[in-house]
Amino acid sequence: MPYVANPLARVTPASERLWEVDWLRGVAIVLVVYYHLMFDLQHFRLLDIAWEHRIWNIQAKAIKSMFLFLAGVGLQLSVTAARSRESAQTQLFWRYAKRGGAIFAIAMLITLATSIALPRGTIHFGILHAIGASLIITYPLLRFGYWLLPAGLALIALAFVLVDYRMDGYWLLWLGVLPHEYWTVDYAPLIPNLGVVFLGVCAARWAWSGNVRRLALRTQPGYRVNALLCLLGRHTLAIYLLHQPLLFGFFYLLDLLTIVQLYA
């Protein structure tokens, strides 16, 4: 399986995958595409959407939390599968450090791209930054097991303390301390999002102990729509990276063909 298809579960062959995890990822990426489609329609002035309404803020936070939670789930399942196959445990640290570093490097390219395309809304620490950093940080902490649960809850609670705190400069942006008058199109600081990853790790340890289902589920997803969601869930990173350029290109093509008049 290509690396970009699913960096959080690459260790596990498709024949041994837990379809319900891929299904949840598929649901998450569909929600992302929908949210960004609405954003693009507003950006190109094809729809009038009140982004300041609370419902859109709740949707954005819920989608991010879903991805980060599943990143924790995927990390725990992937490490469990790898440890069952390999005796050289020390090599696993560098494997997951490289994986997290690769995702973080992609995130930095997004930072560069948005600084050019959207200077006012540049993504300095978005969802991919958070996932990449969280993979690197969380792997060596897996040995603490369920102690990550109170640690995760503490990080989430700490975010409520930092929510109104402001400082000059961007030095603590990655932790959740915002500069004055800061705005971006995507922001996912480690506080509280690393805590959400910790919760995903603990959920995976309980629900799929030893990568075996605790809950009674069918062994195949059934129904074509569920199978399609599982397929999408196995390629979330590629879809995440490609869907926005494709959507923008589509709308610009419509403008070029004078089918719709953008920025009217």
User: Mean pLDDT, the chain, as a whole number?
Assistant: 86
* Stretch 182-206: mean pLDDT: 95
Q: Output 9-16 pairs: Cβ under 8 A, ≥24 positions apart.
A: 9/74, 9/77, 9/78, 9/234, 10/78, 10/99, 11/78, 11/79, 11/81, 11/82, 11/85, 12/77, 12/78, 12/81, 12/211, 14/234, 16/81, 16/211
* Stretch 234-254: mean pLDDT: 89
Least confident span in 26-35, 144-153, 166-175: 166-175
| 56 vs 30, residue with greater confidence | 30
Q: Output 40-46 pairs: Cβ under 8 A, ≥24 positions apart.
A: 40/244, 40/247, 40/248, 40/251, 44/251, 44/262, 44/263, 45/262, 45/263, 45/264, 46/251, 46/260, 46/262
Nearest to 9 by CA among 105, 80, 88: 80
Query: Is the pLDDT at 54 greater than 70, yes or no?
Result: yes
Decide: helix, strand or coil at residue 259: coil
| 16 vs 103, residue with greater confidence | 103
Decide: helix, strand or coil at residue 166: strand
Residue 5: pLDDT band (50, 70, 90) is very low
Best-predicted range by mean pLDDT (1-5, 37-41, 93-97, 235-239): 235-239
- Burial status of residue 158 (CB atoms within 10 A of its CB: 0-12, 13-18, 19 or more): middle
Residues 147 and 126: their CA atoms lie apart, in Å, by 27
Instruction: Give the pTM.
Output: 0.87
